[in-house]
Amino acid sequence: MEQVLLLNITYEPLKVINWKRAIIMLTLGKVEVIEEYNREIHSVSFSIKLPAVVRLLRLVKRPKTPVRFSRQNIYIRDNYRCQYCGRIFPPTDLTWDHVLPRARGGKTEWGNIVTCCIECNKRKGGRIPSEVSMTLIRKPKRPEWLPILTITLGFKHLPQSWRDYIYWNVELEE
Ligand SMILES: [Zn+2]
């Protein structure tokens, strides 16, 4: 719990930094604290709550990186949310689903693959969603970029206080 999520001024997650760096940036007036952990840090001159999320007070431009097609990145694009029932699961309880089944010519690509829970996957089987009265919560497409964080950290390791910001960011990409 000593990691701090650094947000751009736009609230876009930029990277994970250690708490000491966050404190330095804070004392330099470069960031503001958005979320805190419960733990306090004490020094000779001050004591403050350990920051969990900090936001830069000026804009940092970030280069866009192409997104590799992978199971993990599909989950990240979909916020670990089953695209049929809308529930969020840890990666171990998720699979991916071909919206148009492969047997009917569906391709394994961004536009035809969605995150799906085991239950919905069983229910859908090899059929198209309308045949089993299922609807997608959003149309899948290739993301332009993904938050760096969820790629390096994975769902289970994300502190609770970070999650709103990471999802917030992903939602913007719709
Ligand atoms: Zn589901």
pLDDT at 2: 80
Query: Which of 81 and 161 is assigned the larger pLDDT?
Result: 81
Give a yes or no: residue 119 inside a domain. yes
Is the confidence at residue 156, as pLDDT, over 80? no
143 within domain boundaries: no
**Looking at the domain assignment, is residue 140 inside a domain?**
no
CATH code for the domain of 119: 1.10.30.50
Please determine, for residue 157, whether its predicted confidence score (pLDDT) is greater than 80: no
Q: For 11-21, how does the pLDDT look when each residue is reduced to its tens digit (9 = 90+)?
A: 888 888 899 99
Residue 147 placed within a domain: no
Compute, in angstroms, the gap from residue 158 CA to the centroid of ligand 1: 22
Cα-only R_g, the chain: 19
Does residue 103 lie in a domain region? yes
Output the CA 85–ligand 1 centroid distance in Å. 4
Q: Which residues surround ligand 1, an ion (CB under 5 A)?
A: 82, 84-85, 117, 120
- Parent domain of 96: 71-132
Instruction: Tell me the mean pLDDT in the region 35-60.
Output: 89
CA–centroid distance, residue 136 to ligand 1 (Å): 10
**Domain-embedded: residue 100:** yes
* Residue 53 and residue 81 share a domain: no
Q: Is residue 156 in a domain? A: no
Using the mean position of ligand 1's atoms as its centre, give its distance from the Cα of residue 82 in Å: 5
For residues 81 and 120, membership in a common domain is answered with: yes
Q: Give the chain's domain count.
A: 2
Closest by CA to 17, choosing from 161, 149, 112, is 149
Q: Do 54 and 5 contact (CB within 8 A), yes or no?
A: yes
Last residue of a domain, one of 58, 83, 107: 58
- The pTM of the full predicted model, rounded to 2 decimals, is 0.55
Three-state SS annotation for 79-97: CCECCCCCCECCHHHEEEE
Mean pLDDT of 26-33: 96
- Which residue, 92, 75, 90, 85, is CA-closest to 119? 85
